[in-house]
Structure 1
Protein backbone atom coordinates (compact mmCIF):
# COMPACT_ATOMS: atom_id res chain seq x y z
CA UNK A 1 0.00 0.00 0.00
CA UNK A 2 1.23 3.50 -0.87
CA UNK A 3 1.06 5.97 2.02
CA UNK A 4 0.40 9.57 0.97
CA UNK A 5 0.54 12.63 3.25
CA UNK A 6 -0.34 16.24 2.45
CA UNK A 7 2.20 18.96 3.21
CA UNK A 8 1.91 22.66 4.03
CA UNK A 9 2.02 23.44 0.28
CA UNK A 10 -1.13 22.74 -1.71
CA UNK A 11 -0.57 19.89 -4.16
CA UNK A 12 2.81 18.80 -2.73
CA UNK A 13 2.65 15.29 -1.27
CA UNK A 14 5.04 13.10 0.74
CA UNK A 15 4.79 9.48 -0.34
CA UNK A 16 6.05 6.25 1.17
CA UNK A 17 6.59 3.63 -1.55
CA UNK A 18 4.50 0.45 -1.43
CA UNK A 19 7.29 -2.03 -0.78
CA UNK A 20 10.39 -1.52 1.35
CA UNK A 21 12.13 -4.72 2.37
CA UNK A 22 15.39 -5.30 4.22
CA UNK A 23 17.12 -8.49 5.28
CA UNK A 24 20.65 -9.86 5.66
CA UNK A 25 21.20 -9.53 1.89
CA UNK A 26 20.40 -5.82 1.70
CA UNK A 27 17.42 -3.70 0.65
CA UNK A 28 14.60 -3.91 -1.86
CA UNK A 29 12.43 -0.90 -2.67
CA UNK A 30 9.56 -0.68 -5.14
CA UNK A 31 9.86 2.97 -6.18
CA UNK A 32 6.78 3.11 -8.35
CA UNK A 33 3.80 0.94 -9.23
CA UNK A 34 1.27 2.70 -11.46
CA UNK A 35 -1.73 0.71 -10.18
CA UNK A 36 -0.92 1.22 -6.49
CA UNK A 37 -0.07 4.90 -6.92
CA UNK A 38 -3.30 5.52 -8.85
CA UNK A 39 -5.26 3.79 -6.07
CA UNK A 40 -3.61 6.23 -3.63
CA UNK A 41 -4.67 9.22 -5.78
CA UNK A 42 -1.31 9.80 -7.51
CA UNK A 43 -2.45 9.43 -11.11
CA UNK A 44 0.07 11.45 -13.11
CA UNK A 45 1.30 9.91 -16.36
CA UNK A 46 5.06 9.77 -15.87
CA UNK A 47 7.09 9.40 -19.06
CA UNK A 48 10.72 10.22 -18.27
CA UNK A 49 13.11 9.20 -15.48
CA UNK A 50 16.31 11.07 -14.65
CA UNK A 51 19.01 10.91 -11.99
CA UNK A 52 21.73 13.24 -10.85
CA UNK A 53 24.73 12.17 -8.80
CA UNK A 54 26.32 14.84 -6.62
CA UNK A 55 28.88 15.21 -3.86
CA UNK A 56 28.54 16.68 -0.38
CA UNK A 57 27.39 20.33 -0.30
CA UNK A 58 26.46 20.47 -4.00
CA UNK A 59 23.25 22.47 -4.36
CA UNK A 60 21.13 21.97 -7.49
CA UNK A 61 18.16 24.18 -8.29
CA UNK A 62 15.75 25.82 -7.65
CA UNK A 63 14.26 24.89 -11.04
CA UNK A 64 10.81 24.16 -12.40
CA UNK A 65 8.34 24.81 -15.18
CA UNK A 66 4.61 25.34 -15.57
CA UNK A 67 3.66 21.92 -16.96
CA UNK A 68 5.65 19.11 -15.31
CA UNK A 69 4.79 16.93 -12.33
CA UNK A 70 7.87 15.38 -10.67
CA UNK A 71 8.15 12.46 -8.28
CA UNK A 72 11.41 12.82 -6.34
CA UNK A 73 13.32 10.01 -4.57
CA UNK A 74 16.75 9.57 -3.01
CA UNK A 75 18.31 6.37 -4.32
CA UNK A 76 21.54 6.67 -2.34
CA UNK A 77 22.78 8.99 0.39
CA UNK A 78 20.88 11.91 1.86
CA UNK A 79 19.85 15.36 0.70
CA UNK A 80 17.80 18.30 1.90
CA UNK A 81 15.04 18.96 -0.63
CA UNK A 82 13.18 22.26 -1.01
CA UNK A 83 9.93 22.93 -2.90
CA UNK A 84 8.86 26.52 -3.67
CA UNK A 85 5.44 27.64 -4.91
CA UNK A 86 6.09 29.78 -7.99
CA UNK A 87 2.51 29.87 -9.29
CA UNK A 88 1.54 33.50 -10.02
CA UNK A 89 -1.67 34.45 -8.24
CA UNK A 90 -1.47 31.56 -5.77
CA UNK A 91 -2.15 32.47 -2.14
CA UNK A 92 0.97 30.44 -1.33
CA UNK A 93 3.21 32.13 -3.94
CA UNK A 94 6.78 32.28 -2.62
CA UNK A 95 6.10 29.83 0.21
CA UNK A 96 8.51 26.92 0.56
CA UNK A 97 8.90 23.70 2.50
CA UNK A 98 11.98 21.54 3.13
CA UNK A 99 12.27 17.76 3.45
CA UNK A 100 15.13 15.39 4.15
CA UNK A 101 15.11 12.48 1.71
CA UNK A 102 17.46 9.54 2.10
CA UNK A 103 18.15 5.94 1.24
CA UNK A 104 17.03 5.04 4.75
CA UNK A 105 13.71 6.91 5.07
CA UNK A 106 12.78 6.18 1.39
CA UNK A 107 10.25 9.02 1.32
CA UNK A 108 9.29 10.58 -1.98
CA UNK A 109 7.93 14.05 -2.75
CA UNK A 110 5.42 14.79 -5.51
CA UNK A 111 6.00 18.28 -6.95
CA UNK A 112 3.22 19.92 -9.05
CA UNK A 113 3.70 22.12 -12.13
CA UNK A 114 4.59 25.72 -11.32
CA UNK A 115 6.64 24.73 -8.29
CA UNK A 116 10.42 24.96 -8.22
CA UNK A 117 12.59 22.44 -6.48
CA UNK A 118 16.20 22.22 -5.40
CA UNK A 119 18.36 20.09 -3.17
CA UNK A 120 21.67 20.14 -1.35
CA UNK A 121 23.63 16.94 -0.67
CA UNK A 122 24.24 16.12 3.01
CA UNK A 123 26.06 12.79 2.59
CA UNK A 124 29.40 12.14 0.88
CA UNK A 125 27.49 11.33 -2.34
CA UNK A 126 23.79 11.23 -3.19
CA UNK A 127 21.76 9.96 -6.10
CA UNK A 128 18.69 12.09 -6.82
CA UNK A 129 15.98 10.36 -8.88
CA UNK A 130 12.93 11.92 -10.45
CA UNK A 131 10.11 10.77 -12.64
CA UNK A 132 8.46 13.48 -14.71
CA UNK A 133 5.33 13.84 -16.78
CA UNK A 134 6.99 15.71 -19.67
CA UNK A 135 10.22 15.43 -21.57
CA UNK A 136 12.87 17.84 -20.33
CA UNK A 137 12.67 21.24 -22.04
CA UNK A 138 15.33 23.69 -20.85
CA UNK A 139 13.64 26.59 -22.68
CA UNK A 140 10.48 26.30 -20.54
CA UNK A 141 12.37 26.17 -17.22
CA UNK A 142 12.51 28.90 -14.61
CA UNK A 143 15.28 29.27 -12.05
CA UNK A 144 14.85 30.85 -8.63
CA UNK A 145 17.91 31.97 -6.69
CA UNK A 146 18.58 29.47 -3.90
CA UNK A 147 19.57 32.37 -1.62
CA UNK A 148 16.88 34.89 -2.66
CA UNK A 149 16.23 37.01 0.46
CA UNK A 150 12.55 37.37 -0.52
CA UNK A 151 12.15 33.57 -0.23
CA UNK A 152 14.27 33.33 2.94
CA UNK A 153 14.87 29.59 2.49
CA UNK A 154 16.76 27.84 5.27
CA UNK A 155 19.54 25.62 3.94
CA UNK A 156 21.66 23.35 6.17
CA UNK A 157 24.82 24.41 4.30
CA UNK A 158 26.22 27.93 4.41
CA UNK A 159 28.38 27.99 1.26
CA UNK A 160 27.10 25.33 -1.16
CA UNK A 161 28.76 24.35 -4.43
CA UNK A 162 26.57 25.63 -7.29
CA UNK A 163 26.58 25.83 -11.07
CA UNK A 164 26.70 29.14 -12.93
CA UNK A 165 22.98 28.77 -13.63
CA UNK A 166 22.26 28.38 -9.93
CA UNK A 167 24.44 31.36 -9.07
CA UNK A 168 22.18 33.43 -11.31
CA UNK A 169 24.87 33.76 -13.98
CA UNK A 170 23.81 31.18 -16.61
Structure 2
Protein backbone atom coordinates (compact mmCIF):
# COMPACT_ATOMS: atom_id res chain seq x y z
CA UNK A 1 0.00 0.00 0.00
CA UNK A 2 1.33 3.40 -0.95
CA UNK A 3 1.18 6.08 1.70
CA UNK A 4 -0.04 9.52 0.52
CA UNK A 5 0.93 12.44 2.76
CA UNK A 6 -0.58 15.93 2.44
CA UNK A 7 1.37 19.11 1.82
CA UNK A 8 0.29 22.71 2.36
CA UNK A 9 -1.06 22.61 -1.22
CA UNK A 10 -4.24 20.63 -1.89
CA UNK A 11 -2.92 19.37 -5.23
CA UNK A 12 0.63 18.41 -4.16
CA UNK A 13 1.38 15.30 -2.14
CA UNK A 14 4.26 13.20 -0.88
CA UNK A 15 4.02 9.50 -1.64
CA UNK A 16 5.92 6.75 0.14
CA UNK A 17 5.83 3.37 -1.60
CA UNK A 18 6.06 0.05 0.17
CA UNK A 19 9.71 -0.78 0.79
CA UNK A 20 10.84 -4.32 1.51
CA UNK A 21 14.18 -4.34 3.35
CA UNK A 22 16.39 -7.12 4.61
CA UNK A 23 20.11 -7.72 5.13
CA UNK A 24 20.69 -7.59 1.33
CA UNK A 25 19.19 -4.12 0.88
CA UNK A 26 15.71 -3.14 -0.24
CA UNK A 27 13.16 -3.49 -3.02
CA UNK A 28 10.40 -1.05 -3.93
CA UNK A 29 8.08 -0.31 -6.82
CA UNK A 30 8.70 3.29 -7.91
CA UNK A 31 5.50 3.41 -9.97
CA UNK A 32 2.41 1.23 -10.44
CA UNK A 33 -0.63 2.66 -12.27
CA UNK A 34 -3.26 0.86 -10.17
CA UNK A 35 -1.51 1.35 -6.81
CA UNK A 36 -0.90 5.07 -7.29
CA UNK A 37 -4.43 5.58 -8.64
CA UNK A 38 -5.76 3.94 -5.47
CA UNK A 39 -3.55 6.32 -3.44
CA UNK A 40 -5.04 9.33 -5.27
CA UNK A 41 -2.63 9.89 -8.17
CA UNK A 42 -4.38 8.77 -11.35
CA UNK A 43 -2.13 10.26 -14.00
CA UNK A 44 -0.50 9.04 -17.18
CA UNK A 45 3.17 9.88 -17.47
CA UNK A 46 4.75 10.58 -20.86
CA UNK A 47 8.46 10.79 -20.05
CA UNK A 48 10.99 9.74 -17.43
CA UNK A 49 14.13 11.81 -16.85
CA UNK A 50 17.12 11.50 -14.55
CA UNK A 51 19.74 13.99 -13.34
CA UNK A 52 23.08 13.56 -11.60
CA UNK A 53 24.35 16.42 -9.43
CA UNK A 54 27.06 17.22 -6.92
CA UNK A 55 26.87 19.03 -3.58
CA UNK A 56 25.44 22.58 -3.68
CA UNK A 57 24.04 22.23 -7.19
CA UNK A 58 20.71 24.02 -7.38
CA UNK A 59 18.45 23.05 -10.27
CA UNK A 60 15.49 25.37 -10.69
CA UNK A 61 13.13 26.87 -9.98
CA UNK A 62 11.78 25.52 -13.27
CA UNK A 63 8.22 25.37 -14.52
CA UNK A 64 6.17 24.22 -17.48
CA UNK A 65 2.52 25.04 -16.87
CA UNK A 66 1.45 21.91 -18.82
CA UNK A 67 3.60 19.50 -16.81
CA UNK A 68 3.09 17.63 -13.55
CA UNK A 69 6.03 15.68 -12.10
CA UNK A 70 6.69 12.88 -9.66
CA UNK A 71 10.18 13.44 -8.23
CA UNK A 72 12.32 11.08 -6.16
CA UNK A 73 15.94 10.91 -5.07
CA UNK A 74 17.56 7.60 -6.02
CA UNK A 75 21.02 8.35 -4.60
CA UNK A 76 21.98 10.81 -1.87
CA UNK A 77 19.84 13.57 -0.45
CA UNK A 78 18.12 16.62 -1.88
CA UNK A 79 16.15 19.47 -0.43
CA UNK A 80 13.30 19.88 -2.88
CA UNK A 81 11.19 23.05 -3.16
CA UNK A 82 7.92 23.75 -4.93
CA UNK A 83 6.20 27.10 -5.41
CA UNK A 84 2.66 27.78 -6.59
CA UNK A 85 2.93 29.92 -9.75
CA UNK A 86 -0.77 29.84 -10.65
CA UNK A 87 -1.77 33.54 -10.60
CA UNK A 88 -5.42 32.87 -9.69
CA UNK A 89 -4.59 30.47 -6.86
CA UNK A 90 -5.12 31.41 -3.19
CA UNK A 91 -1.62 30.01 -2.53
CA UNK A 92 0.09 31.98 -5.35
CA UNK A 93 3.83 32.42 -4.62
CA UNK A 94 3.73 30.23 -1.51
CA UNK A 95 6.39 27.55 -1.29
CA UNK A 96 7.19 24.40 0.66
CA UNK A 97 10.39 22.38 1.00
CA UNK A 98 10.88 18.64 1.42
CA UNK A 99 13.81 16.37 2.22
CA UNK A 100 13.94 13.54 -0.33
CA UNK A 101 16.58 10.86 0.14
CA UNK A 102 17.53 7.44 -1.15
CA UNK A 103 16.67 6.10 2.34
CA UNK A 104 13.35 7.82 3.14
CA UNK A 105 11.92 6.77 -0.26
CA UNK A 106 9.66 9.84 -0.44
CA UNK A 107 8.32 10.90 -3.83
CA UNK A 108 7.04 14.44 -4.34
CA UNK A 109 4.12 15.04 -6.69
CA UNK A 110 4.52 18.49 -8.24
CA UNK A 111 1.26 19.60 -9.90
CA UNK A 112 1.13 21.47 -13.19
CA UNK A 113 1.39 25.20 -12.52
CA UNK A 114 4.08 24.85 -9.86
CA UNK A 115 7.74 25.78 -10.02
CA UNK A 116 10.17 23.12 -8.88
CA UNK A 117 13.80 23.05 -7.88
CA UNK A 118 16.20 21.22 -5.62
CA UNK A 119 19.49 21.61 -3.79
CA UNK A 120 21.89 18.65 -3.81
CA UNK A 121 22.98 17.99 -0.22
CA UNK A 122 25.56 15.28 -0.98
CA UNK A 123 28.59 14.83 -3.24
CA UNK A 124 26.63 12.50 -5.53
CA UNK A 125 22.90 12.87 -6.07
CA UNK A 126 20.68 11.10 -8.61
CA UNK A 127 17.15 12.40 -9.08
CA UNK A 128 14.42 10.71 -11.11
CA UNK A 129 11.43 12.56 -12.59
CA UNK A 130 8.26 11.19 -14.14
CA UNK A 131 6.75 13.90 -16.36
CA UNK A 132 3.12 14.08 -17.45
CA UNK A 133 4.07 15.58 -20.84
CA UNK A 134 7.27 15.36 -22.89
CA UNK A 135 9.87 18.03 -22.18
CA UNK A 136 9.64 20.95 -24.59
CA UNK A 137 12.10 23.83 -24.11
CA UNK A 138 9.60 26.22 -25.74
CA UNK A 139 7.27 25.69 -22.74
CA UNK A 140 9.88 25.72 -19.97
CA UNK A 141 10.48 28.77 -17.82
CA UNK A 142 12.42 29.58 -14.68
CA UNK A 143 12.16 31.78 -11.63
CA UNK A 144 15.37 32.86 -9.91
CA UNK A 145 16.12 30.50 -7.03
CA UNK A 146 16.47 33.47 -4.59
CA UNK A 147 13.46 35.47 -5.82
CA UNK A 148 12.61 37.80 -2.91
CA UNK A 149 8.87 37.75 -3.64
CA UNK A 150 8.84 33.99 -3.05
CA UNK A 151 11.48 33.74 -0.31
CA UNK A 152 12.44 30.07 -0.49
CA UNK A 153 14.74 29.34 2.47
CA UNK A 154 17.35 27.05 0.94
CA UNK A 155 19.49 25.09 3.46
CA UNK A 156 22.61 25.96 1.48
CA UNK A 157 26.02 25.70 3.13
CA UNK A 158 28.63 27.29 0.88
CA UNK A 159 28.31 28.71 -2.59
CA UNK A 160 25.55 27.52 -4.94
CA UNK A 161 26.41 25.86 -8.23
CA UNK A 162 24.01 26.94 -10.98
CA UNK A 163 23.74 26.25 -14.67
CA UNK A 164 24.43 29.26 -16.91
CA UNK A 165 20.73 29.24 -17.83
CA UNK A 166 19.58 29.34 -14.17
CA UNK A 167 22.15 32.00 -13.25
CA UNK A 168 20.83 34.24 -16.06
CA UNK A 169 17.20 34.26 -14.81
CA UNK A 170 16.24 37.84 -13.83
CA UNK A 171 16.05 38.14 -10.04
CA UNK A 172 12.55 39.65 -9.89
CA UNK A 173 10.92 37.84 -12.84
CA UNK A 174 7.61 36.08 -12.15
CA UNK A 175 5.56 34.34 -14.87
Give the TM-score taking structure 2 as reference length: 0.93
1:162 Cα deviation (Å)? 0.3
RMSD: 1.2
Residue aligning to 1:56 = 55
Query: Alpha-carbon deviations, 1:49-95, whole Å to 9, x = none?
Result: 00000001100010011111100111110000000000111111100
Gapped regions of structure 2 (runs ≥ 5): 171-175
1:131 Cα deviation (Å)? 0.3
Moved over 4 A (4+): none
Residue aligning to 1:142 = 141
Residue aligning to 1:20 = 19
Alignment of 1:67-86 (within 5 A): 67-86=66-85
How many residues are treated as equivalent by the alignment?
169
Find the residue that maps to 1:10 and give its secondary structure.
coil
1:169 Cα deviation (Å)? 4.9
Gapped regions of structure 1 (runs ≥ 5): none
1:41 Cα deviation (Å)? 1.4
Paired residues of 2:48 and 2:131 also in contact (CA < 8 A): yes
Give the TM-score taking structure 1 as reference length: 0.96
Alignment of 1:25-44 (within 5 A): 25-44=24-43
Query: Alpha-carbon deviations, 1:83-131, whole Å to 9, x = none?
Result: 0000111111100000000011000110111101000100111101010
